[in-house]
Amino acid sequence: MQILVGLGNPGARYAGNRHNIGFMVLDALARRYRATPWRRRFQSEAAEAEIGEQRVLLLKPQTFMNESGRAVGEAARFYKSELSEITVFHDELDLADAKLRVKTGGGNAGHNGLRSISAHLGNDYRRVRLGIGHPGDKNLVQPYVLSDFFKGERGWVEDLVDACAEFAPLLVRGEEASFQNKVHLAMRAKGWEDERVANGK
């Protein structure tokens, strides 16, 4: 069973945070692919959907970010999923707003959700890095990721999340480069060039 994980913090107060863009992608996937209703399983909100002719588990850990690995590990053990079958959508400070990159393994760049998953499962799972930009000062990172997207940013956030959902069948089939390229082209077609994104803040 492939497991698509979105990282975020549970509860209404965090729903619009930059740190919760992973949850936003999972919600978009659930809508587009008519997933089963969300229910509490694996210390998460979980649903199943058919994406790219494959049945997948959608998982939003409810453990808070720093303990995401407990939830993902529980689901992976239940389904006997390999690391290669786990994809994690997460916010990425080291990418500009509205950018996306896919990679397998590598460092966690200080992301506590990834650190927790790697501690519980190992490092060689696939990550979909969703660029949220950097506040420019490492001392500002925590308040930045735990603040809501500005009104002027919501357009690109919605378009990026929707593009991830639209092209998810490529990702599920293992066509990471095609997925990344299609999302990039979709964002360019919407007019989200770097300068425009920056000006939207």
SS3 8: coil
**How far apart are alpha carbons 124 and 147 in whole angstroms?**
30
CA–CA distances in Å: residue 171 to residues 139, 146, 174, 176: 35, 28, 5, 5
Contact 80, 2 (CB under 8 A): no
What domain range is 73 assigned to?
Answer: 2-199
Q: At what angle do helices 176-189 and 154-166 cross, to 10 degrees?
A: 140
pLDDT in the model for residue 198:
46
User: The tokens 């001392």 sit on which residue?
Assistant: 139
* pLDDT at residue 196 tops 50: no
pLDDT tens, 176-187?
Answer: 999 999 999 999
Containing 153, the helix (H) or strand (E) segment is: none
pLDDT in the model for residue 27:
98
19 is catalytic: yes
Q: What's the pTM value of the predicted model, to 2 decimals? A: 0.93
Q: Is 100 exposed, middle or buried (0-12, 13-18, 19+ CB in 10 A)?
A: buried
Any idea what DSSP says for residue 148?
Answer: B
How confident is residue 106, by pLDDT bands cut at 50, 70 and 90? confident
The catalytically annotated residue of 19, 90, 111, 120 is 19
* Structural domains of the chain, count: 1
pLDDT in the model for residue 194:
57
pLDDT tens, 57-95?
Answer: 999 999 999 999 999 999 999 999 999 999 999 999 999
CATH code: domain of residue 140: 3.40.50.1470
